[in-house]
Protein backbone atom coordinates (compact mmCIF):
# COMPACT_ATOMS: atom_id res chain seq x y z
CA UNK A 1 0.00 0.00 0.00
CA UNK A 2 1.29 3.44 -0.92
CA UNK A 3 1.87 6.11 1.67
CA UNK A 4 -1.32 7.95 2.48
CA UNK A 5 0.42 11.30 2.03
CA UNK A 6 1.33 10.41 -1.57
CA UNK A 7 -2.23 9.40 -2.34
CA UNK A 8 -3.61 12.60 -0.78
CA UNK A 9 -1.09 14.75 -2.64
CA UNK A 10 -2.21 13.20 -5.91
CA UNK A 11 -5.86 13.86 -5.03
CA UNK A 12 -5.06 17.54 -4.39
CA UNK A 13 -3.37 17.67 -7.80
CA UNK A 14 -6.50 16.22 -9.42
CA UNK A 15 -8.62 18.94 -7.81
CA UNK A 16 -6.29 21.70 -9.03
CA UNK A 17 -6.24 20.29 -12.56
CA UNK A 18 -10.03 20.23 -12.58
CA UNK A 19 -10.21 23.77 -11.19
CA UNK A 20 -7.85 25.28 -13.77
CA UNK A 21 -8.75 23.03 -16.73
CA UNK A 22 -10.67 25.67 -18.70
CA UNK A 23 -8.13 28.43 -18.23
CA UNK A 24 -5.23 26.08 -18.95
CA UNK A 25 -6.89 24.82 -22.16
CA UNK A 26 -7.58 28.37 -23.43
CA UNK A 27 -4.02 29.52 -22.78
CA UNK A 28 -2.57 26.37 -24.30
CA UNK A 29 -4.66 26.82 -27.44
CA UNK A 30 -3.45 30.41 -27.83
CA UNK A 31 0.17 29.45 -27.19
CA UNK A 32 0.10 26.59 -29.71
CA UNK A 33 -1.76 28.46 -32.45
CA UNK A 34 0.82 29.41 -35.08
CA UNK A 35 -1.53 31.93 -36.73
CA UNK A 36 -1.17 34.22 -33.68
CA UNK A 37 1.74 36.64 -33.55
CA UNK A 38 4.76 35.81 -31.37
CA UNK A 39 3.96 38.43 -28.74
CA UNK A 40 0.48 37.05 -28.10
CA UNK A 41 1.81 33.50 -27.91
CA UNK A 42 4.54 34.59 -25.49
CA UNK A 43 2.00 36.33 -23.24
CA UNK A 44 -0.10 33.15 -23.15
CA UNK A 45 2.99 31.14 -22.13
CA UNK A 46 3.81 33.63 -19.39
CA UNK A 47 0.25 33.46 -18.06
CA UNK A 48 0.48 29.65 -18.11
CA UNK A 49 3.66 29.93 -16.05
CA UNK A 50 1.77 31.96 -13.43
CA UNK A 51 -0.70 29.13 -12.86
CA UNK A 52 0.07 26.74 -10.00
CA UNK A 53 2.56 24.08 -11.01
CA UNK A 54 0.21 21.29 -9.95
CA UNK A 55 -2.51 22.64 -12.27
CA UNK A 56 -0.70 20.98 -15.16
CA UNK A 57 -2.46 17.71 -16.08
CA UNK A 58 0.83 15.88 -16.63
CA UNK A 59 1.62 16.12 -12.91
CA UNK A 60 -1.27 13.82 -11.98
CA UNK A 61 -0.07 10.27 -11.42
CA UNK A 62 -2.18 7.24 -12.32
CA UNK A 63 -2.62 5.17 -9.17
CA UNK A 64 -4.40 1.94 -8.29
CA UNK A 65 -7.85 2.64 -6.85
CA UNK A 66 -7.46 -0.01 -4.16
CA UNK A 67 -3.84 0.19 -3.03
CA UNK A 68 -2.58 3.48 -4.44
CA UNK A 69 0.33 1.74 -6.18
CA UNK A 70 1.74 4.02 -8.91
CA UNK A 71 3.54 1.40 -11.02
CA UNK A 72 2.14 -1.30 -13.30
CA UNK A 73 -1.19 0.54 -13.64
CA UNK A 74 -3.81 -0.72 -16.10
CA UNK A 75 -5.95 2.18 -17.33
CA UNK A 76 -8.76 -0.06 -18.53
CA UNK A 77 -9.37 -1.35 -15.00
CA UNK A 78 -7.93 1.45 -12.86
CA UNK A 79 -5.91 -1.13 -10.93
CA UNK A 80 -2.30 -2.14 -10.50
CA UNK A 81 -1.23 -5.56 -11.78
CA UNK A 82 -1.14 -7.08 -8.28
CA UNK A 83 -4.74 -6.18 -7.44
CA UNK A 84 -5.88 -6.99 -10.97
CA UNK A 85 -4.55 -10.51 -10.59
CA UNK A 86 -6.03 -11.00 -7.10
CA UNK A 87 -9.47 -9.75 -8.06
CA UNK A 88 -9.43 -11.74 -11.32
CA UNK A 89 -8.67 -15.02 -9.55
CA UNK A 90 -11.51 -14.37 -7.10
CA UNK A 91 -13.87 -13.63 -10.00
CA UNK A 92 -14.53 -10.07 -8.84
CA UNK A 93 -13.94 -8.48 -12.27
CA UNK A 94 -16.72 -9.27 -14.76
CA UNK A 95 -15.52 -10.85 -17.99
CA UNK A 96 -11.97 -11.43 -16.81
CA UNK A 97 -10.60 -14.84 -15.97
CA UNK A 98 -7.08 -15.96 -15.20
CA UNK A 99 -5.92 -18.37 -17.87
CA UNK A 100 -4.56 -21.78 -16.97
CA UNK A 101 -3.51 -24.71 -19.15
Q: Encode pLDDT of 21-33 as tens digits.
A: 999 999 999 999 9
- In this prediction, residue 1 carries a pLDDT of 78
Q: Is the pLDDT of residue 45 over 80?
A: yes
pLDDT bucket at 97, cuts 50 / 70 / 90: confident
Buried b (16+ CB within 10 A) or exposed e, 31-43: beeeeeeeeebee
- What is the mean pLDDT of the segment spanning 69-75? 94
Whole-prediction pTM value?
0.78
**What is the percent of the chain with per-residue pLDDT over 90, rounded to a whole number?**
86
Q: Is the pLDDT of residue 51 over 80?
A: yes
- What is the mean pLDDT of the segment spanning 4-16? 94
- Give Dmax over CA atoms of the chain in angstroms: 64
Amino acid sequence: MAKLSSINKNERRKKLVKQYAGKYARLKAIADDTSNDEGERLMARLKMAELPRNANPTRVRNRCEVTGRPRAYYRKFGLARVMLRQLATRGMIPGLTKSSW
